[in-house]
A and B are shown apart, each in its own frame.
Chain A
Amino acid sequence: MNAIQLWMHTPAAAVVGWTLIHFLWQGAAIALLLAAAMAVLRDSRARYGAACAALAAMIAAPAITLALLWPSAAAVAVPLTRRFAINWFAVAADDAPLRLSAPWYAWIAPCWFVGALAVCAWRAAGWYAAHGLRTRGVCAISPQWQSRVAVLAGELRVTRPVRLLESCLAEVPVAIGWLRPVILLPVGLAAGLRAEQVEALLLHELAHIRRCDYLVNLLQTAIESVLFYHPAVWWVSNAIRAERENCCDDLVVRVHGDARAYAATLATLETARCRAPLPAVSANGGRLIDRVRRLTNPAQSGVSAAPVVTGLVALATIVAALVVWPSHRATAATPQDPAAPQRAAAAQPQPRAGKVRRPEAVPVLAQVGESTLTIPERYRKWLTQDVAYIISDVERSTFETLRSDSEREHFIEQFWERRDPTPGTPENEYKEEHYRRIAYTNQHFGAPSGLAGWKTDRGRIYITYGPPDQIEAHPNNVPPSQQWLYKFIEGIGQNVIIEFTGDDYRMTMDPSVAHNVFFSTGNGPRVIVEVQPDRSVVISVPLAQESSPYVLRGDVTTARGPIVSTFEDVAVGSGFKKTLGPLQPGDYDMQFATKNTRGERTSSHVTFTVR
């Protein structure tokens, strides 16, 4: 206690105390400037930039004040330090407490220090808890969604690998982490929503990751903790959080298209969530209703006033500095507002989200069935020949929805980039190896019937899995045969043996047939069709927990039209599952319709193949 009392008398404590006091008006002034800027700025990125600049100014202001006040303190520091040492010994020697009358402001620094320490500890515990969520109560999500995230990440040009997990502790979808970001979806959310709704959510989280929001948020939290005593800091910090969400919303709309559909998705989720009785927690980020209003009311984002605002803010800063400077020079030098250049930079005119919006809503997955005929020959060849075996279903359907050649070129570039084992180098080893494999199959596996090598079974396996570890050939047998051994194939297993027989070396069993999953398109709940190794077909429909009873009806037909099977059932609660007996190999179609107790109907459609 004596040590603190003595420290309170050092000039350093006084300087810190005065710095903190000066920040009261500095913080208020910066917040006022920000409020003025926010009144004029409309573009979310400009608003976000302005708020960030204001917070940066808030941490710079006390730093500069401290630097300016320090010399006067240093001048008297030496004798005081010596006195401090003598007093300290004196206290220790005769045990008589020193009665030093501390001025009131001497108390500020120690009080602030204790408070900042407490807030920092609270924040650190929060950080620890948030990071715990990345590993606690999580499980892997279906590979379909994992690969969909990779595609969406490519669209947003997110370079870091993003993991998508289901979490039983997260109440809403969240993104956590900077270098190794993770997106957590509440358990069952992906299954209970329509694909384009999940996509919209994922895009929003990916937007956070692409913008490095987590890192900015950490810095922002640190500033909040140090300057915790000023309400203006919290106000600016909350403004940043709100604008951050708006920026991400704009990014989603730019990629996804329809702003109103996206707003409806958010509103639906929020209304569904509010039915679940969970304890409410502290407010952060913008109010959803404000975001929905902003998304659906383009009139609000009027003409950009950025240049005017830049001038106004700069002028106001200079005036404020001139007015304030002389009056405070007596007690302490005033820092110039360091925010002006930054704020000016942030307020530069920027392309507005509304202008680059796609003209119509194109929910990506809704167009899966569209024919590939509209794609120019060159790109159709790329899709159906070059990458036919390695492109995923979601990538394929995304590619089919692209409208312009430049989009397609970009997609192809991204497609290879995602697979590049050494991103950043000019060589793409994956792409080179892939084209080498195609060339190899055409040289070696051409069939007597004239079928190109890459189209044969051996060609397909070679291109998909690479050269086998071992080949056992019996060319003189009747019919001739080959057995290929792979020591390991990812997703299938160890020591996989694949047999080819006959003059054209047909494969006897496809190793990947064990995992055949198909998804529905349409406005109804997501229908999942799994083809089992024994050719039986499992149809499942995960429904949201709170959903009311549904009447389900499905018609399975072959691609040519005859009905194979029809079923009708009632699903209550968490889902529906049905198995159809083994089907003949071939292509099938399923029309799937639901009706709930309120008479609302949905319909969806799945195409699947039994091999």
Chain B
Amino acid sequence: MPPKPSHLPRPTDSELEILTVLWSRGPSTVRDVHETIVQSRPAQYTTVLKLLQIMAEKGLVRRDEKQRAHVYEASRPREETQRQLAGDLLQRAFGGSAKSLMMGALSARKASKKELAELKKFLEEYEGESR
């Protein structure tokens, strides 16, 4: 019986890569996962298969055996894993420092409630105009 989601172990880096593929593509066969991974780095099909089997044992992924090719699916939503990883001591200490080195269209800080309300008001106006 797989462990409860709340007590799932932290995924290793290679497991995290596979989870990313699964979150990105949705339920996938080993072949699908392997095809996506080799786009960015060389990887053996058997390595991916072995990793997925280990992850299924750990409970990180669910395996659907109804079809001929087994279909794997991440057992938790991305947000939960991200929260788990963000909870790391290291991440907490250096997150702020790292964030100021990354640049993006949305700032690392979320909008406050008041700002959100104004954004929503703007959106309503905008949609009203374009209709």
Contacts and interface: CB of A to CB of B under 8 A. Distances in A.
Contacts of A123: 97
A574 B26 contact: yes
A244 B107 CA distance: 12
Nearest to B19: A168
B95 to A, nearest CB: 5
B90 A129 contact: yes
Given A166-B24, A269-B106, A575-B26, A264 B126 contact: yes
Contacts of B79: 276-278
A126 B96 contact: yes
Given A270-B119, A292-B119, A188 B104 contact: no
Size class of the contact patch on chain A:
35 or more
B103 A174 contact: yes
Interface string A117-150: 0000011011111100100111111010000000
Interface stretch (A283-291, A364-372, A397-405): A283-291
B101 A139 contact: no
B111 A270 contact: yes
A83 interface: no
A118 to B, nearest CB: 12
A122 B96 CA distance: 10
Given A125-B93, A274-B116, A278-B82, A284 B111 contact: no
A533 interface: no
Contact of A542 (B26, B105, B126): B26
A137 B107 contact: no
A387 B46 CA distance: 40
B36 A140 contact: yes
Given A139-B20, A277-B79, A288-B115, A172 B105 contact: yes
A173 interface: yes
B98 A126 contact: yes
A127 B101 contact: yes
A230 interface: no
Interface in B102-131: 102-111, 115-116, 118-120, 122-123, 126-127, 129
21 contacts: A125-B98, A129-B90, A133-B98, A138-B20, A139-B20, A139-B36, A171-B108, A172-B106, A172-B107, A175-B103, A187-B78, A221-B100, A244-B103, A245-B103, A267-B120, A270-B111, A271-B119, A278-B86, A279-B86, A282-B99, A283-B108
B6 interface: no
Contacts of A545: 77
A263 interface: yes
A542 B24 CA distance: 10
A281 B86 CA distance: 10
Given A127-B101, A136-B16, A278-B83, A266 B106 contact: yes
